[in-house]
Structure 1
Amino acid sequence: MSVLSSSFIQWLQQNAENLDQSNERADLLIPQIAALGLYKIGVPETLGGSGGTLVDAIKAVTELGNHSLAAAFVSWDIVPLSSILSPQKILFPAKAIWRIC
């Protein structure tokens, strides 16, 4: 199920080139994303968010990116924000062994 409204998808499709290659209409992008509640995904309801998980936030950004790179870029901050505020703060097991090779 899409987290984006059909009217917003249509607007993104009509404006993606301008958004991705210039600053034309950029002033409209963040308010529209916020109006959809996308910045609340993954933030606990007790903190004013809509709940969900880090994965839900990543899916929302990915869906935006399917229509506009600029839209995904300005929304990427919801992923670290939701991971910081998540009640499931442990993203990696404590005993994980990291190797570079």
Structure 2
Amino acid sequence: MILIFIEVREGKVKKSSLEALSEGKRRAADLNTEVNAVLVGHNLESLASEVLPYGGSKVYVVENSLLSHYSAAGFSQALFSRLHQCVRLPLPWWKSVPVMGS
């Protein structure tokens, strides 16, 4: 499975994320797997349907009012929590992944 993080700014999906999802769909076909998308933030329900036409088999929404403003730590924790549920890896693996952004 390929999982694409969909970036949202000011309530709108970033065009670059949709481009990444389209490319992920192409790569997934080459690898005979599926591509899924993940949205992290607040008030994202309506955006999931906007993302699907670009190639995601599924769109995971990680929604919490605490994620209404970006923070590297908050988004990383939410994203890795969802990733852990999707991939079913032992929890300690993600503790070694560096946090990006600020």
Greater length-normalized contact order (CA 8 Å, ≥ 6 residues apart): 1
How high is the TM-score relative to the length of structure 2?
0.32
The structure richer in strand per residue is 2
- Which of the two has higher C-alpha Rg? 1
The structure richer in helix per residue is 1
